[in-house]
Amino acid sequence: MSEKRAVEVLDEWLDSYLNFEKLPQKNMFWLDTIKFLCNRFGNPQESYKSFHVAGSKGKGSVSTFISSILEEAGFPCGLYTSPHILDLSERIGSAHGPLPESVYENALRLMVCRVESIIPEQLPNDREITWFELITLYAFLCFREAGLPWAVFETGLGGRLDATNVLLPQMCVLTPIELEHTEFLGNTICAIAGEKAGIIKAGVPVCSSAQKKEAEDVFRAKAEEFGSDIVFINEVLESMDYSLKKDENSGFIMQTSFTFNRFFSRPLSACLHLLGRVQAENAALAALSVKRIFPDLDESIIERGLEKARLPGRCEITVNPYDESGKSIIVLDGAHTVNSLSGILDTFSRIIGKGTKADLLFACASDKDMTHMVKLLLPDEPLFESITLTRPGGKKHSDLDTLADAFMKQRAALSSGNDVHYAIEKDYKSGIHNALKEAAERHVPLLVTGSFYLVSEVKQAMQAL
C-alpha cells in the first residue's frame, strides 16, 4: 500500500466510476450487480448480524445511535452511513471512530484486485459498476475483515433498489418519509414510502418513526405481506421530554427522557450530544429498535450508548475561526428537507437565545423544495440579519438563480423582510469566507445549513485557516 491512507487511495480509485452523488441520473439503480459482486467475494454481508435503516431524514443519526448502543452493550459494531463530511472513513467505521488502518488496507487490496479482474461481459446486463455499489461492497468487506459481530447500514437512496438491500438483517428501521428525490423515487408520499419499504424482509421485525398516514398505510401493508411484525414509535412512546442545557466541555447537551408503554422496564433518561427535537425522536427510535432485538438489555446500557453517540454535521457547534475573541459560534447542520430545516432553525434559535440576531449561510441542491425552505428562512419575524446564498460546493448540481428568485419573492412579501441584508455568491468558496468574516466582525452566531456538501466545504475552509 502507498504512503496514502487506504481510504484516500480508495477515493482516487473510485473516481472513475459512475457516481450518483456527483451526477444524478435515472436508471442507475438495480440489485443484480451488487449481488454479483457479493457472490464474487463470498457474500461478506452475511458474516455478521445487522440493522438496516431507510427513510427520508434521520437515517444517519438513528444508525449512529443504534451502533453506539450495541458498542456499549459489548458488541463491536460496524457503521455504514452517508454522506461523509471530510473523509471516506466517516462512512465506514464505528459509532466512535474509524476502524484500524489494517482493516481498510486489507479490504482495499482484496477489492481492487478482484474487481479489476472482472471481464465486462461477466457483469449482469452489461451494466457498468457504480461508485455506490463499490463503496457498499467495501463496507461489507471491511466489517468482515474486522471480524465484527454486528453492523448497522444506512441506505443511500430509496431502499428497494439500494445497494445495501442485499442484506438479510435482524431488524429493519424506517425513519420519517418526506417528498425528496422525487425525480427518482416518485412524486407522492405513497410512492416514496413504497421504495423505502423495499427493505422489509420476510419475518424480519420492523420499527418505524411516526409517519404520515399515506406512508404508514404502505408500511403496514408491506409488513403484513411479508409476515413482519411492525411497531410504530407513536404506538409505544407515551411521553418524551427534552431541553437544551449548557455544558462546560461540549457547549450544549440535551437532557431527554422517554416513557414507553411496552418493551422497557422503566423510563429512559439520557444527555444527548446530538441536539434538537428530531434527535430526541431519533434516539427513541434507536432505543426501541435495539430493545426489540435484545429484550433483556439493561436500560442503563441503552442510556449510556445514546449519550456516547456523536455525528459530524448534525447541529455541530464550533467557534468562528475569524473571531479572535472566540465569542462567535458557528452551527453546522446538513438539513436538506423542509422538516429537517424547520428542526434546525428551532434548535438554533434555542441555542443562541430568544431575541438574538444571527447570520445564515445557505445552499441546497437543485432538486430540493426551495420555495418552502425559503419561507422557513424568512418568516414574518426574520431570525437572520444577513443571509448569504451560494452553491453547495462543486460536486452537487444546484440552481442558485432559482434559489435567489424564491428568496427575493419571499423577501418582497414581508414588510420586515426588507431589513434583511443578503448576498448571492456564485463562487461558493468566496461566499463561505465572506459569510464567516462578516459574522466574526459583528460577533454574531452563524448557521450553515441546507446541504451536507456545503457543511463539508465550510469545514474544509475552516481547517485551511
Average pLDDT over residues 222-240: 98
Same fold, 6-235 and 316-464: no
**What pLDDT is stored for residue 26 in this prediction?**
61
**Which one has a higher pLDDT value, 78 or 397?**
78
> Which pLDDT band holds residue 394 (cuts at 50, 70, 90)?
confident
* Geometric angle at alpha carbon 85, from 246 and 362, rounded to 5°: 75
Can you give the pLDDT at residue 139?
Answer: 98
The dihedral region occupied by 443, where left means phi > 0, alpha psi between -120 and 50, and beta the remainder, is left
Mean confidence (pLDDT) of the chain:
93
Enter the pTM of the model.
0.93
Report the share of the chain in percent with pLDDT over 90: 81
Strand-strand pairing, 150-154 and 77-80: parallel
* C-alpha to C-alpha distance for 28 and 11, rounded to whole angstroms: 20
Query: How many C-beta neighbours within 10 Å does residue 13 have?
Result: 15
User: Per-residue pLDDT tens for 182-198?
Assistant: 677 888 999 999 999 99
Q: What is the pLDDT of residue 88?
A: 92
The architecture in CATH of the region 316-464 reads: Alpha-Beta Complex (3.90)
Q: Give the amino acid at 239.
A: S
pLDDT of residue 329: 94
> Regarding predicted confidence, which is higher, 413 or 204?
204
Domain boundaries, the chain: 6-235, 316-464
Tens-digit pLDDT profile for residues 278-311: 999 999 999 999 999 999 999 999 999 999 999 9
CA distances 310 to 66, 96, 305, 316, Å, are 12, 7, 10, 9
Is residue 388 helix, strand or coil? strand
28-43 average pLDDT score: 93
Most distant CA pair in the chain: distance in Å? 65
Q: What is the DSSP letter of 18?
A: B
Phi and psi torsions of 63, nearest 5°: -60, -40
Contact 60, 335 (CB under 8 A): no
Residue given cell 438483517 in the structure block: 169
**AA letter at 39:** N
What does the alpha-carbon distance between residue 82 and residue 54 come to, in Å, rounded to a whole number? Answer: 12
Confidence of residue 24 (pLDDT cuts 50, 70, 90): low
Q: Which helix (H) or strand (E) covers residue 77, if one does?
A: strand 77-80
pLDDT for res 298: 98
pLDDT in tens, 136-182: 999 999 999 999 999 999 999 899 999 999 999 999 999 999 887 76
pLDDT tens digits, one per residue of 302-352:
999 999 999 999 999 999 999 988 889 999 999 988 989 999 999 999 999
> pLDDT band for position 1 (50/70/90)?
very low
CATH number of 6-235: 3.40.1190.10
Q: Could you tell me the CA-to-CA distances from 300 to 38, 73, 186, 259 in Å, in that order?
A: 38, 10, 42, 14
Q: What is the pLDDT of residue 20?
A: 59
Q: Which residues, 6 or more positions from 452, have their beta carbon under 8 angstroms from its beta carbon?
A: 83, 85, 313, 334, 336
pLDDT of residue 180: 77
Q: Is the pLDDT of residue 127 over 80?
A: yes
Q: What is the DSSP string of 396-429?
A: S---HHHHHHHHHHHHHH-TTGGGSEEEEESSHH
- As a whole number, mean pLDDT of residues 89-108 equals 96
